[in-house]
Amino acid sequence: MTVGRLDRFLREIAKNHPSKAKGAKVALSQMFALAVRHGAIPTNPVRDTGRLRKPRREVTALGTEQLETVRTAIREWQQPVPGKPGPRHTGDLADIVDLMLATGARIGEILAIRWSDLDLSADRPVLTISGTLVYVKGKGVFRQDWTKSEAGYRTIVLPGFAVGMLLARKLTAAENDYDAVFASRNGTWLQPNNVRRQWRQARADTDLTWVVPHTFRKTVATLIDEESNTKSAATQLRHGSEEVTTTYYIAKPAIAPDNSAILERLGADRTTAEGSVQDRDRRAE
């Protein structure tokens, strides 16, 4: 097992699966370290393989026209198809997307919302994010009474379009044992994977195959950053640091600090030289 062979092997994996390549490198390093300790080989060849560079993550958010395309695709998908077997599509997907855009919350947090988490009668209606849906093998999907991170527990002031949607939904909502805002036809929690599948079906005939539920969260962060600041965006999403928000959630090119005054010094000699040439030309005339 040579360094070159290991390096090629890891880079081949990294082309499509960077995180798997990193895990493979760790496992191989431990394996060959054990071989070195037992005298099977003199050195660990993994140490001399090249660094696996993480590909640049491009953050992409939805623009106004793209957002309208999303809503149009969902409306068309929800329309009943004559002669098509199976239950009629509900309006859940459109409402779920609206609430993600109104809050910046994760899909699991949105689907875990209960009516008791909402105060729609307040002067400024609010939603408290206090849990998320998780899947446990052998148990299925259940509501976990804490969010993905410790900072995730938060109360969000809702924009008007979300309040209107929730009030309309409340009028026609069937009761369920979980008090869930988004419940299945059987009265159980609506599973995130089912919602993702519905969105894949709705976007099938569009050019939005790159849009996933997390894209709506990035769209929220990008808009708040543009209209307010990064701190507000990070607080809305409840990230532990603004760096996480900037790196993974805000769509914008990197902007270098304004060093133009400093760099002006590098052009001073050139300006002087150009002036000298012009003086010489005038004297020649």
Q: What is the pLDDT of residue 59?
A: 78
User: What one-letter code names the amino acid at 136?
Assistant: V
Q: What class has domain 64-247?
A: mainly alpha
**Average pLDDT across the chain, whole number:** 86
User: Bigger pLDDT: 57 or 64?
Assistant: 64
Q: What is the pLDDT of residue 91?
A: 83
Tens-digit pLDDT profile for residues 66-123:
999 999 999 999 887 776 666 667 889 999 999 999 999 999 999 999 999 999 999 9
Q: How confident is the model at residue 241 (pLDDT cuts 50, 70, 90)?
A: confident
What is the mean predicted confidence (pLDDT) over 28-48?
Answer: 94
The yes-or-no verdict on residue 276 having pLDDT over 70 is: no
Q: What is the pLDDT of residue 279?
A: 61
| Per-residue three-class SS string for the chain | CCHHHHHHHHHHHHCCCHHHHHHHHHHHHHHHHHHHHCCCCCCCHHHHCCCCCCCCCCCCCCCHHHHHHHHHHHHHHHCCCCCCCCCCCCCHHHHHHHHHHHHCCCHHHHHCCEHHHEECCCCCCEEEECCEEEEECCCEEEEECCCCCHHHCEEEECCHHHHHHHHHHHHHCCCCCCCECCECCCCCECCHHHHHHHHHHHCCCCCCCCCCHHHHHHHHHHHHHHHCCHHHHHHHHCCCCHHHHHHHCCCCCCCCCCCHHHHHHHHHHHHHHHHHHHHHHHHHC
Q: What percent of the chain has pLDDT over 70?
A: 84
Q: What is the pLDDT of residue 46?
A: 93
The yes-or-no verdict on residue 269 having pLDDT over 70 is: no
Q: What is the pLDDT of residue 177?
A: 93
The yes-or-no verdict on residue 263 having pLDDT over 70 is: no
Q: How confident is the model at residue 141 (pLDDT cuts 50, 70, 90)?
A: confident
| Region of poorest pLDDT, from 68-82, 125-139, 207-221, 250-264 | 250-264
Query: Within the chain, which residue ranges are assigned CATH 1.10.443.10?
Result: 64-247
Q: What percent of the chain has pLDDT over 90?
A: 55
The yes-or-no verdict on residue 197 having pLDDT over 60 is: yes
| Region of poorest pLDDT, from 202-206, 245-249, 258-262 | 258-262
Instruction: Report residue 238 as tokens.
Output: 């409840």
User: What one-letter code names the amino acid at 225?
Assistant: D
